[in-house]
Amino acid sequence: MDFKLIIAIIRVDKLEEVEKKLREIGVERINISKVKGYGDYQDFFARNWMVEEVRLEVFTRREEAEAISAAIMEAAHTGLPGDGVVAVMPIEKLFLVRTKGEATPDEFRPLR
């Protein structure tokens, strides 16, 4: 299987920039969730130290993972603690619910 999963945790205020950048490079499939957490940056003045962030998930072909990761990092970067993380993980199998079958690299095109 030649698929990767990119998971990025970024600042809420950088989401629009990241989405725009991903559209510019042709990413057509993305999932976004609101999450809370802390790492580099902790809001000590908040009740529970958690910071609101955004989690992006992109399933992509192996050869497109680096370009997508670089685009996310470029658009999300501020140089301050709490900019986030980007992880690229292998996918063992990927199924399409519509077809009830395993996706092949030829039919799965997250980039135009």
Domains, the chain: 3-102 (3.30.70.120)
Task: Indicate the average pLDDT of the chain.
Answer: 88
Q: Which residue has the tokens 């299987």?
A: 1
Contact (CB, 8 A) for 41 and 105: no
Q: What's the confidence (pLDDT) of residue 103? A: 84
Q: Which residue has the tokens 């908040």?
A: 46
| Element at 15 (helix H, strand E) | helix 15-24
Q: Which residue has the tokens 């790492």?
A: 39
Sorted by sequence, the CB contacts under 8 Å of residue 49 that are 6+ apart come out as 38, 42, 43
* Residues forming a β-bridge with 88: 6
pTM for this prediction: 0.86
Q: What's the confidence (pLDDT) of residue 55? A: 98
Q: Which residues of the chain have pLDDT under 50?
A: none
Q: What's the confidence (pLDDT) of residue 20? A: 97
